[in-house]
Amino acid sequence: MKPEIDQNFINSIVNNFIGGICVFDIDSKTREVTPLYKNDGLYRMFNGNKVDIDNIFKRIRISIIPDDLPVFEQGLTDILADDGAAEFEFRIVSSDGSLMWLRFHGNLYSRENDSNIVTAVILDCTEQKTIEEELKRQSDYMHLLMDTDITFDFNCRTDVCIYRITETDALAHDSVIKSYHERIPDLGIFEEDIVSYTEMLESAMAHAHRDKLEFRSKGLINPTDEFRWYRADVVSILGKEGYVSHVIGHIVDIHEDKIKEIELKLRADHDGLTGLMNKQATETLIRTTLEQYEKDDTLTGALMILDTDKFKHINDTYGHSTGDRVLARIGDIIRNNFKGMDVTGRIGGDEFMIFMHNIRTPEDAASLAAKVQNLIMHSFDGEDFGKEVSMSIGIAIVPRDGKDFSELYKKADKALYFVKTHGRAGHKIYNKELEQDQK
């Protein structure tokens, strides 16, 4: 007998679908997108905290990469036109700060006045897009082998390198560089990239293989006053004796694409609402900064954890738009008061982290914490919720309280807990007495 298909069976299929099956309400006038239903498969696809994923879809336009917003808006227009299903792809910043490609296949289900009920299937197509981009890169690579900006031939025996540079008028000229190893610092290569460039060349000389390197230089193709990004693709050529005799390859100007890549990475590392770094980027940069403290015992720093007091109450009482305004304003205050080598980030819904680099005394950290608290507390004076906005701050000092990030975090968190349990709206520097107080 065939199994009887009931509603529970249908629900099980929907929730176990590998991808998102969703229902949205789209307002014809405001274009506001309100999620009405999301299956379990959507949460599994994002592999993150459910609350964070819900927030992404509540304010979906903030999470979409700005370059892809026109595609998203046109997709909504096509769906609301009711000419059949519409499909489009866009990039989104996930809850952990990484970029995902999503394929949205939507259809208008019903319409009443300005309310449009849309059903959609949402799939993660990141891997497919990555493969497509790699195939395109390989295709471009083959084209560049035939017509590139710069080709070079380095003779390992004579230490002579011949550059053939193709100008915009399709004419080419050769540039012969003798004593090439010694001349590398004179090629206009960015100082921090010279070591990597030299290592790539020496590795290619040591054994036969292909390699590539991205580097910055002023002196390639058309010398300029500004550094540009290039990519060098090289291959070793074996001589009759079985040793590498030549390293040949080509160098391509990738400046515009590299700048876009860097800008995209910066967007992925930053929280769209506050403009601060996300949790992963914040912790990574703080750990990197702490490496300096391992090498220099004279440095003093401070790790701060900041928690917005009664934020859930503000959200629930005055609405999410008010909550977003509060968080955005806190982000502005933090960015305006911590600069240079200081690290600032949003590490949770209403929680922030700051690392003050190379302070003079712990009191400096306490003083700035007090200033930030005061600015936040008076940010919305005159508004209904203004008196309810405040901040609790816990502080750990480097190296007094340690140099390891996890240890500093725990101690700053203990100081924060003390503030939260003693009236909130204050700051506290960690001390050993807190350990006894919290037992």
Q: Omega into 399 within 30° of 0, i.e. cis?
A: yes
What range defines the domain where residue 198 resides? 147-255
Are 389 and 293 found together in one domain? yes
Q: For residue 52, what is the domain's CATH number?
A: 3.30.450.20
Position 52 scores a pLDDT of: 86
Spell out the SS3 assignment of 41-62: HHHHHHCCCHHHHHHHHHCHHH
Better pLDDT: 18 or 414: 414
- Cα of first residue to Cα of last residue in the chain, in angstroms, is 64
Whether 209 is in a domain gets the answer yes
- End-of-domain residue from the set 94, 126, 158: 126
Average pLDDT of span 24-30 = 93
Q: Among 65-74, 145-154, 406-415, 416-425, which is the least confidently predicted range?
A: 145-154
Alpha carbon of residue 21 to chain centroid: 27
Judge if 274 and 249 occupy the same domain. Answer: no
| Mean per-residue pLDDT, 100-117 | 93
Q: Do both 278 and 404 map to the same domain?
A: yes
One-letter amino acid identity for 23?
V
Inside any domain, residue 421: yes
In this predicted structure, what is the pLDDT of residue 140? 54
- Does 58 lie in the same domain as 191? no
Task: Report, as an integer, the average pLDDT of 291-302.
Answer: 89
Which amino acid, one-letter code, is at 304? M
Does residue 336 form part of some domain?
Answer: yes
DSSP 64: B
Cα separation, 205 vs 243, whole angstroms: 8
Between the alpha carbon of residue 219 and those of residues 170, 180, 189, 251, the distances in Å are 19, 15, 7, 12
Distances (CA, A) of 70 to 57, 126, 219, 397: 17, 19, 38, 47
Confirm if 163 and 174 have CB atoms less than 8 A apart.
Answer: yes
Q: Which segment of 20-34, 175-189, 323-337 scores lowest on mean pLDDT? A: 175-189
Same domain, 283 and 196: no
Our measurement of the distance from residue 343's CA atom to the centroid of its chain's CA atoms, rounded to an integer in Å, reads 15
Structure tokens at 36: 């009405």
Which residues contact residue 323 at a Cβ distance below 8 angstroms, ignoring those fewer than 6 apart?
311, 314, 315
Cα separation of 78 and 90, whole Å? 15
| Per-residue pLDDT at 438 | 60
- Cα distance between residue 424 and residue 435, in whole Å: 19
pLDDT, residue 248, reads: 83
Identify the pLDDT of residue 132: 59
β-bridge partners, 253: 230
Q: For position 186, what pLDDT does the model report?
A: 81
Q: What is the pLDDT of residue 243?
A: 83
Q: Is there a single domain that holds both residue 237 and residue 318? A: no
Out of 92, 126, 160, pick the residue that ends a domain: 126
Count of structural domains, the chain: 3
Q: Which residue has the higher pLDDT, 415 or 152?
A: 415
Q: 265 CB contacts (<8 Å, ≥6 apart)?
A: none
Do 105 and 215 belong together in one domain? no
Would residue 80 count as lying in a domain?
yes
Per-residue model confidence as pLDDT tens digits over 120-160: 999 988 766 765 564 455 445 545 444 446 778 888 889 99
pLDDT at 259 over 50: yes
Angle at 385 between CA 380 and CA 388, to 5 degrees: 90
Q: What is the pLDDT of residues 39-58, one digit of tens each?
A: 988 888 888 788 888 888 98
Residues 101 and 32 in one domain: yes
Percent of the chain that is helix, strand, coil (3-state, to 5):
45, 30, 30
Q: Please say which residue of 255, 288, 307 terminates a domain.
A: 255
In a domain, 245, yes or no: yes
State the average pLDDT for the chain: 85
Q: What is the dihedral of CA 104, 110, 111, 115, to 10 degrees?
A: -60
Is the distance from CB of 63 to CB of 93 less than 8 angstroms? Answer: yes
Position 406 in a domain: yes
Distance CA 377, CA 40 (A): 40
- What does each C-alpha distance from 114 to 32, 33, 34, 84 come to in angstroms? 11, 12, 13, 19
Residue 300 in domain: yes
Does residue 42 sit within a domain?
A: yes
- Please report the pLDDT score of residue 133 as a whole number: 64
**Statement to judge: residues 84 and 17 lie in one domain:** yes
- Pairing state between β 150-155 and 115-124: unpaired
Distance of CA 371 to the CA centre of its chain: 29
Examine the domain organization and report whether 232 and 177 are in the same domain.
yes
Q: Tens digit of pLDDT for each residue in 150-200? A: 778 888 889 999 887 765 444 556 788 899 888 888 888 888 889 999 999
DSSP code of 186?
A: G
Domain shared by 309 and 427, yes or no: yes
Same-domain pairing of 214 and 105: no
Q: What is the mean pLDDT of residues 344-353?
A: 92
